[in-house]
Amino acid sequence: MIRIAIDGPGGSGKSSVAKAIAKKLGIIYVDTGALYRNIGLYMLEAGINPKDAEAVGAALPSLTLELKFEDGKQIILLCGKDRGDEIRTPEASMAASDVSAIPAVREYLLNMQRDTAKKNSVVMDGRDIGTVILPYAEVKIFLTASPEARAKRRHAELLSRGKDVSYEQVYNEMVERDKNDSTRAIAPCVPAEDAIFLDNSELNAEETMDKILEIIKKKTKQKPNFYAKAKVVVAPLFRFFMRVKAIGIENVPSDGGLVLCSNHIAAVDVISIGAVCPRQLTCVAKKELFSIPVLGWVMKKLEAIKLDRGGSDVAALKASIKAAEAGRVLTIFPQGHRCPGVNPATTPIKHGAGMIAYHAKCDVVPVCINIKGAKYGLFKRVEVIFGKPISYDDLGFTEGGRDEYLAATEKIFKEICALGNYSSLPDYDPSKDKIKNKKKRK
């Protein structure tokens, strides 16, 4: 899966070239500007000042906006109707700029745009795609041109649609919109730090597309990363000596953000899962591991997320959510620490899995590590059982909160336990929990 973010000011040609790029690559094109234009048009027709944040925010619940794709073509239904070229007038353009500076409007559209990119390879153009909407896009381009060149293009476009408008009017409105978009407090139109800057003042549409295709090819033609190289060496050895076998591997989606939750027996659990999982894992590891020579270096190279288990680690939580939002497979253990030799169904769990799934708006795959005797050993058969994905909608979220996070995590962990066969093992005994007892002694 690939996400391509093309940002830039009005008239730079980003929408036209984004459509052409999407068609060339056979992926979905998302015109985010059209979403704002529809909201701007709605406010104008309702007699609401697009600059009045309070009035616009109050009117949002009264409109419906549906984003659909038919044969790869984007269709936006405003209150059930496709408004077509009505959203392309200078008045609608200015209204779009005005409403796009209102936090409530941006929040209204944020999840719609992110959810589309989580489920599909996309080309998305706008003014803050690489900085706000898709900060983890594989390719980020900031496309621009001189105000004169952009005004000339927009003027020709409007004339071709039968609009009676002068070049001077288009130029003045474009300069004003540039100022509004680049100086607004919320998501200004500025390049992302890792975006590639492309000025197409002297380029035609075909030349611009060729330049962008070159950038995409260069950015996506990457050498195997450290994880891929390590897996080539470690995975076969681990599968042979530990007799690791995957069951239900078809239940792991081929792309898109995902939270993968497993029971926790030993420190090598993540290696067992990684040895058979077809996708790269992003794991959460306790901070103490990062201070161990060599191992700490390996953890950093694997892009593991450092977790302070001594309290509520907000930074680790945010990093975990961002990883899932970015389309990665986040691997976590709801038990919080290793619980070998006991029936996992009787162990206590933490609510982090539910919290991350809620904020990342992603599905969860339950995983059970099933070992005879519940402990690792050379040439002992280890089964890594992947259950069917639990969709975000089935996790029972309404408004979030600790109770909902815990209820969702309990549902996930119940599915994990149902995959294995640990009923013959003894129940969890807190008094024999070595990790907890060590903490008490400290």
Residue 434: the pLDDT is: 55
Characterize 370-380 residue by residue with b for buried, 16 or more Cβ atoms within 10 angstroms of its Cβ, and e for exposed: bbeebebeeee
Quote the radius of gyration of the chain (alpha carbons, Å).
26
Q: What is the pLDDT along the chain (442 residues), one digit of tens a residue?
A: 789 999 998 888 888 899 899 989 988 898 888 999 999 999 999 999 999 999 999 999 999 998 888 776 788 999 999 998 899 888 998 899 899 889 899 888 988 888 888 778 899 998 889 988 888 888 999 999 999 999 998 898 888 988 888 999 989 988 888 888 787 777 788 889 899 999 999 999 899 999 999 999 888 876 678 999 999 999 999 999 999 999 999 999 887 789 999 999 998 999 999 999 999 999 988 888 899 989 899 999 998 999 887 667 789 999 999 888 878 899 999 998 888 888 999 999 999 999 999 998 889 999 999 987 678 888 889 999 999 999 998 999 988 899 999 999 999 999 999 998 887 888 988 877 655 444 444 4
How far, in Å, CA of 440 to CA of 442, rounded? 5
Residue 438: the pLDDT is: 45
Which residues have C-beta within 8 Å of that of residue 330, sequence separation ≥ 6?
257, 258, 259, 260, 281, 282, 283, 284, 320, 323, 324, 356, 360
Give, for 382, the enclosing helix (H) or strand (E). Answer: strand 382-386
pTM: 0.64
Residue 200: the pLDDT is: 93
Amino acid identity of residue 362, one-letter, is C
Residue 311: the pLDDT is: 65
Q: Which residues pair with 196 in a beta bridge?
A: 141
**254, 324 contact by CB (below 8 A):** no
Q: How many CB atoms lie within 10 A of CB 186?
A: 13
Residue 218: the pLDDT is: 87
Characterise 11 by phi-psi region: left (phi > 0), alpha (psi -120 to 50), beta (else). Answer: left
How far, in Å, CA of 94 to CA of 111, rounded? 24
Helix, strand, coil shares of the chain, percent, nearest 5, are: 50, 15, 35
